[in-house]
A and B are shown apart, each in its own frame.
Chain A
């Protein structure tokens, strides 16, 4: 589809807070999921007669299951502290992209049907009936939120708009307004095993091809094993790593690290995918089903460790939720979790991030690197939201910021951070996370990338930065599309293990 024309924001020296322009992004809507896609997920594909009751019922159900939703809908004081914190607002000027206004789309309805003042004096407290227009607004604006949680850092009560967005999408699914992109992917991962829908044999071919390439390149027979019973490590990585550029460069990097360290490892054809779009829809059961494939593969292959590749939301789900959903972790005292936990090696964090693993190996001198191999590059690092604001690495709070930087600086000599207020927990989203990485939302993606591009532009001007490393498959895919719109070369973005791959010494 030829995307509609739109203006690419101009980069200024600073990120300016725009004046509001009402309705400026109301037209941006991603494609609705068609019947077969919704059928597979167990949702209707169109609005039924009773859609309104269904929506309110579902909201009630979620309010009873999620304390976050209940507290967040009550606690907001409309202080406005979050209004200038969302990259989509900064890039589009649409006031409904201000986190509090995005929440209010649901809060208005919540107040009307679930609170006393909203029932008695709706006008006074801004309560509104649920109408088709509201529902359409939900569909537009809950798909203009990348669930990046930047707003939650700055809210005095920690109100996390991502939780509201997830609930909104869940309700939309229940009344028959699913999003094509995310739900199609959820179908593929459950039917075929990964988000790209690559069948096992295609995957094996690809891995063989990569092995030949690496050997031709380095003269070393580095292997990319799949379905190896009894391997020490199960590696789970986003399926983009198998096929897309620059993602595959990082996959090659992981393989070289395992080879150099002499750790036996394997991929799994049934669980070749780390990504879990169940997170984006906020459906616990879906997220659990997708995560269970990894537990099953781990049990089946008898591995001792589970390592996750470069993917932001996958790492969030792995780090924060796998223990809850599947028992991958520690501290379980129920038969379900004990079964797996007694198989896993207690000397390592479970799951472990590939950056934790590589960084430890370098620090312990188990693998050798030559940072001058990356001397052609001046590197900066983009903290991906789900890693930065929703997960951790290592033992200390903030390890998710320190470890990737430490790793980059041990494999590359030239490194500069972007402006302080745009990295770490204040990092700006790439603009394509949370189920927005689809061509039908290109305008939202390009405009939402403006704050990140501004910060990048500044280090390019000041420090001649020519490479932005990141550890998220979605960030990589989004940036390769969006960088050219802002006049940058798409090869400026790549993975941290792409740098490792160049610097690592093999024998």
Chain B
């Protein structure tokens, strides 16, 4: 079992990193031939960074459009962030002091995360417009994340797993020195689902994460009169004139 899981995590990590690197490379290589920021847009690069920061941290546009989706979406993402940061303690030795400080919050953040996911899932069923646009993968993705969250909560709040051994396993993975993995069902389910999530990340709608940073309507400065903006394939057209 240990060997299977070790192999699984190596492969999942490889696919996640390679997939994301490829996608990011692909996005950055594809030209944006025209200036298309959605206005009113900042006129400077600094302003663009501020705009993007508000989108990433506060989900500003979503806040303007729908308060329910915003509440659930933000609970889920912020909860997930805290939970992930908390998980750093399994990968660091000694554990960074701020990760220690976060521990108690990280525990309850899992509840936030699950509530958020539950709300999003409920909307998919209950709102006719959202039901219409939902594909099976949209539901499955939420179910997958819910299952990850719930199996994790099981271990935090119900049946504790052998944390010391688990940490040994992950540190071992990082230093290519495989250590035994505790054979606890909740943990095995939790880890398998996480590996699955890592694999589908770069080929699914989870690409919204890197996508946001490459969205020309949000990441361009509104200065077309002041700066000429020409893509390479378009510049060739000027040569004929």
Interface residues of A (CB under 8 A from B): 17, 19-20, 22, 63-68, 70-72, 74-85, 95, 98, 100-101, 104, 115-117, 123-126, 149, 152-160, 163, 284-285, 288, 292, 319-321, 323-324, 327, 329-334, 336-337, 349-351, 388-392, 395-398, 400-401, 425
Contacts and interface: CB of A to CB of B under 8 A. Distances in A.
B222 A397 contact: yes
B130 interface: yes
Nearest to B47: A397
B203 A117 contact: yes
Interface string B64-94: 1110010001000000000000000000000
A80 B123 contact: yes
21 contacts: A19-B128, A76-B205, A79-B62, A79-B69, A81-B61, A83-B129, A95-B133, A100-B133, A126-B137, A153-B61, A154-B64, A155-B65, A156-B59, A156-B65, A156-B208, A320-B35, A327-B228, A332-B228, A388-B39, A390-B38, A400-B39
Contacts of B203: 115-117
B229 interface: yes
Closest 6 CB pairs of A and B: A75-B211, A126-B135, A154-B65, A158-B217, A80-B130, A158-B218
Nearest to B214: A71
Contact of A336 (B135, B227, B241): B241
A101 B133 contact: yes
A101 B128 CA distance: 13
B104 to A, nearest CB: 30
Given A160-B38, A331-B227, A74 B64 contact: no
Contacts of A149: 38
B42 interface: yes
B216 interface: yes
Contacts of A84: 129
Interface in B198-241: 200, 203-205, 207-208, 211-212, 214-218, 222, 224-231, 233-235, 237-239, 241
Contact of A20 (B23, B47, B128): B128
A155 B41 CA distance: 15
Nearest to A338: B228
A177 to B, nearest CB: 24
B130 to A, nearest CB: 4
A321 B47 CA distance: 21
Interface stretch (B25-33, B110-118, B146-154): B25-33
B35 A334 contact: no
Contacts of B200: 117
B42 A397 contact: yes
Contacts of A400: 39-40
Contacts of B229: 323-324
Nearest to A333: B228
B58 to A, nearest CB: 10
A65 B135 contact: no
Interface of B: 23, 26-27, 30-36, 38-43, 47, 55, 59, 61-62, 64-66, 69, 73, 120, 123, 127-130, 132-138, 140, 200, 203-205, 207-208, 211-212, 214-218, 222, 224-231, 233-235, 237-239, 241
A332 B238 CA distance: 12
Given A70-B27, A324-B234, A336-B241, A125 B135 contact: yes
Contacts of A333: 228
Nearest to A425: B40
A74 B226 contact: no
Contact of B33 (A65, A116, A125, A332): A65
Contact of A79 (B30, B73, B132, B214): B73
B39 A391 contact: yes
Contact of B140 (A124, A331, A398): A124
Contacts of B211: 71, 74-75, 157
Nearest to A336: B238
Contacts of A389: 38-39
Contacts of A163: 36
A304 to B, nearest CB: 16
A158 B40 contact: no
Question: Among the interface residues A292, A336, A337, A425, which one has the most CB atoms of the partner chain B within 10 A?
Answer: A336
Contact of B225 (A74, A98, A154, A351): A351
B129 A98 contact: yes
A78 B227 contact: no
The listed residue with most B CB atoms (<10 A of its CB), out of A79, A159, A333, A336, is A79
A392 B222 CA distance: 8
Contacts of B69: 79-81
B59 to A, nearest CB: 6
A81 B62 contact: yes
Given A65-B231, A66-B31, 17 more contacts: A17-B129, A65-B31, A67-B30, A75-B212, A81-B66, A83-B133, A98-B132, A104-B133, A154-B62, A154-B65, A158-B217, A320-B35, A324-B234, A331-B228, A334-B235, A336-B239, A397-B39
